[in-house]
Amino acid sequence: MRPSPRWLVALPLLLAFALGGCADDGGSGGGVQSVKLSTIRGRDKLVCGVDGKLPGFSFLGPDGTYSGLDADTCRAVAAAVLGDPAKVEYRDLNSSERFAALASGEVDMLARNTTLTLSRDSAGGNGISFGPTTFYDGQGVMVPVASGVQSLKDLDGKPICVESGTTTELNLADRMREQSIDYTPLKFQTGDQTYAAYLGGRCVAVTSDRSQLAAKRSSFPKPDEHTLLPVVMSKEPLTPASINGDPAWADALRWTVYALFQAEELGITQANVAAKVAEAEANTNQADLRRFLGVEGDFGKQLGLPADFVPKTIAAVGNYGEMFERNVGTGSPLKLERAENRLWTEGGLIYSPPFR
């Protein structure tokens, strides 16, 4: 329920740029220079932009804590940078607010089921720096079972609900134009309003990322009365992001997420990470493991992070596989298959470059 604070987005943005100092003008020299990293350390808190209303990704529970894959990504980064996963301040952002919040420095990073696209990444577009994709998704369409809609063709002439300011909105227009299907897009500013209009029967269908549809359906009063059409309308790689212009901070974010992937590949879990560190310390011949866990070498220092950022991260949230299972996997209310989100060794797309 926000009346119209977005009016104000432009003003601080302008002010920030007009008053913004020149602190980073001469940022050069030895070691890792990152304004963002020192800001985060200075305030001893990571400000992380999340959705906040999407079960499985970032959801504010009744006990006042956030849970989900995106929330865990924030925790992992806080553990890597500050050594404590609890030092996160979450900021709920809707689709339209997220990039302005990132650009104005209101949040340090986004872990807000955001699709990586060219125009968002490029300096001439939104100018955002994306990390590694944490969830490979695709756009789907949900309809009430009773409507009898089987394919996109059946939606001819009908209203479809969509959240404004998303890639979903554009993909919908593209797919419908391709198949010359006439439809009415009903756009709402927040997910809550979009799904309320759908449940209110204003639209015959609602479209979004398939994971989001599954997540929202799990919170419907009668989830069984709604079904996902067997169409995938687009590629939606959901990716954490930071702002362009601070490469050291972007690298820290990137390699923290890669560490989660690498840990799963090496079989390091939240439960055994302490034992693995002890093992690495004892065996000088396990060079790979020693470097990864920061027992030898200076990977942490190169990134501007503590030497033991990897074991801290794994101890905080577990490896990627554990995060997935806990939040969106078959053991969670969402019951999503790993599918594309398996490790590359198992035929999936989750792949970490070497820690070397």
Partner 1 sequence: MSRSLERIPWWRDRRVLPWIVQGVVGLTLLLVIALLLGNLVRNLTAAGLLLSWRWLGQPASFDVAESLVPFDASMPYWRALLVGLVNSLRAILVGLVGATLLGTAMGMASFSGNGLLRRLARGYVEVIRNIPLLLQLLFWYFVVFLALPNGTAAFQLPGIVLSKSGLYLAWFSQGFSWQGPELVNEVWRAPLRLSVEFSALLTGLITYTGAFVAEVVRGGIASVPKGQWEAATSLGLHWSASMRSVVLPQALRVIVPGLNSQYISLAKNSSLAVAVGYVDLYSVSETTLNQTGRALEVFLLLLGSYLIIDLLISAVMNGVNQLVQIRER
Reduced to 3 states, what is the DSSP secondary structure of residue 243? strand
Q: What is the C-alpha to C-alpha distance for residues 140 and 24, in angstroms, rounded to an integer? A: 43
Supply 342's token pair. 């398996």
Contact 139, 232 (CB under 8 A): yes
Examine residue 174 and tell whether it contacts partner 1 (CB under 8 A): yes
Supply 323's token pair. 């995060």
Q: Closest separation between CB of residue 222 and partner 1, Å?
A: 17
Examine residue 177 and tell whether it contacts partner 1 (CB under 8 A): yes
Amino acid identity, position 317: V
Q: Closest separation between CB of residue 318 and partner 1, Å?
A: 33
| Options 33, 38, 39, 189; binder of partner 1; rule CB under 8 A | 189
Contact 9, 97 (CB under 8 A): yes
Q: Considering only residues 13-72, where is the footprint of partner 1 by CB under 8 A?
A: 13-14, 17-20
In the complex with partner 1, which residue's Cβ is closer, 23 or 282?
23
Examine residue 10 and tell whether it contacts partner 1 (CB under 8 A): yes
Q: What is the C-alpha to C-alpha distance for residues 74 and 134, in angstroms, rounded to an integer? A: 12
Strands of the chain (E only): list them: 46-50, 53-54, 58-60, 66-67, 88-92, 109-110, 128-130, 135-144, 159-163, 184-188, 205-209, 226-228, 235-238, 241-243
Examine residue 166 and tell whether it contacts partner 1 (CB under 8 A): yes
Strands of 97-147 (E only): list them: 109-110, 128-130, 135-144
| Options 60, 170, 232, 307; binder of partner 1; rule CB under 8 A | 170
In the complex with partner 1, which residue's Cβ is closer, 193 or 270?
193
Q: Considering only residues 217-246, where is the footprint of partner 1 by CB under 8 A?
A: 244-245
Q: Closest separation between CB of residue 177 and partner 1, Å?
A: 6
In the complex with partner 1, which residue's Cβ is closer, 62 or 200?
200
Residues 6 or more apart whose Cβ sits within 8 Å of residue 223? 217
Q: What is the C-alpha to C-alpha distance for residues 353 and 180, in angstroms, rounded to an integer? A: 43
Examine residue 6 and tell whether it contacts partner 1 (CB under 8 A): yes
In the complex with partner 1, which residue's Cβ is closer, 235 or 338?
235
Examine residue 179 and tell whether it contacts partner 1 (CB under 8 A): no
Q: What is the C-alpha to C-alpha distance for residues 342 and 324, in angstroms, rounded to an integer? A: 10
C-alpha distances out from residue 247 to 121, 164, 204, 261, 310, Å: 13, 30, 45, 21, 20
Examine residue 118 and tell whether it contacts partner 1 (CB under 8 A): no
In the complex with partner 1, which residue's Cβ is closer, 86 or 123?
123
Supply 52's token pair. 């906040």
Examine residue 247 and tell whether it contacts partner 1 (CB under 8 A): no
* Site map 74..113 versus partner 1, x via CB under 8 A: ---------------------xx--xx--x----------
Q: Closest separation between CB of residue 351 and partner 1, Å?
A: 29
| DSSP designation for 206 | E
Total residues in contact with partner 1, by rule CB under 8 A: 54
First-to-final CA distance of the chain: 48
| Options 38, 164, 269, 270; binder of partner 1; rule CB under 8 A | 164
Contact 227, 318 (CB under 8 A): no
| Options 43, 61, 86, 202; binder of partner 1; rule CB under 8 A | 202
| Options 5, 29, 31, 201; binder of partner 1; rule CB under 8 A | 201
**Which residues bind to partner 1, rule: CB under 8 A?**
1, 3-4, 6-7, 9-10, 13-14, 17-20, 95-96, 99-100, 103, 119-120, 123-127, 156-159, 164-166, 169-170, 172-174, 176-177, 183-189, 193, 196-197, 200-202, 244-245
